[in-house]
Amino acid sequence: MSESLPAAIGQIVRAHRERAGLTQAELAVAANVSESYIQRIEYGQRTPTITVFLQLARAFDVESTDFLQEILRLQTILSNTPQPHD
């Protein structure tokens, strides 16, 4: 899996959460997952399962297909952005 996919998911989840005015704890309750799971998703350390992905889309009141398209658009941008060399 490309490293840009978890980063894209994390950025989109955080953007939707902040737009909805939710804390990580509130989103965790709405999506029926732990707060630490939300934190790991937002930091790109964890990729949600399909079940969690669908629960997140419901929590944000967005269509899952729209949510996925938004993530994939950002993932394409991130994967085409040159990375700094160590």
Domain boundaries, the chain: 4-77
For 3-52, the three-class secondary structure string (H helix, E strand, C coil) is CHHHHHHHHHHHHHHHHCCCCHHHHHHHHCCCHHHHHHHHCCCCCCCHHH
* Model confidence band, residue 71 (pLDDT cutoffs 50, 70, 90): confident
pLDDT at position 76 is: 87
**Tokens linked to 24:** 């990580």
Q: Rounded mean pLDDT of the chain?
A: 90
Q: Is the pTM of this model over 0.75?
A: yes
* Model confidence band, residue 15 (pLDDT cutoffs 50, 70, 90): very high
pLDDT at position 79 is: 83
**Tokens linked to 81:** 């952005």
Q: Superfamily for 4-77?
A: lambda repressor-like DNA-binding domains (1.10.260.40)
